[in-house]
Amino acid sequence: MLDALIRRYTSPLLAEPTRRIASLGLSAEALRAAGFVAGIAALPAIGRKAYLVGLALIALGRLLDLIGGAVARLRAQVRSGPDLEHVVELVWTASVPFVFALAESERALAAMFLMLGLVARAAVVGAEPPAKRPGVPSAMEWGAQLLGKSEIFIAYALACIFPSWFSIIAYALGVTCFVMTGFRVAASEIHKP
């Protein structure tokens, strides 16, 4: 839900750096891959309870992902074939609760609940969204877009800043994943011919 809003405000800020990066020959895929590597580097830090180091690496990964997306839009790149970005995003987002549980085993149930919610969310996000039709309630459309990368980043950032709240954050984020999944499935059923 916040992804489009954040992109609208960051696009002007990233316009000039994006042009310079693109002129260096760096591809959107390379930037996104670097973002994924930064995100993966955050995992051992979180597992060792170096939560602020983990947060810094997660933030770096998100920034590189934003710049990679801006470079792709600048070059009008169109994806073809399986969406590798979707796969690595699922692997990474599910890994974060896992390492929080490694850091403190009493978080395991909350982490598993969140991981299950993230898998449910990924199943519907990876599917092609149905074409818009008139008559669909606006609440249905809103609910189908409830949770994007930005909301997940905010939840993980809060968990890194306030690690003792991880279980509460994990349950809240997991419930939100399931609610979004329900809205997406319901919207797909409404849009069926």
Walk me through the domains of the chain, giving residue ranges and CATH numbers: 2-191 (1.20.120.1760)
Q: State the pTM of this model.
A: 0.83
Mean pLDDT confidence for 40-53: 96
Mean pLDDT confidence for 74-92: 71
* 160 within 8 A of 46, measured Cβ to Cβ: yes
d(CA 68, CA 18): 8
* CB half-sphere exposure, 141, CA atoms < 13 A: 10
pLDDT at residue number 80: 47
- Burial letters for 64-87: b for 16+ Cβ neighbours within 10 Å, e otherwise? bbbbbbbbbeeeeeeeeeeeebee
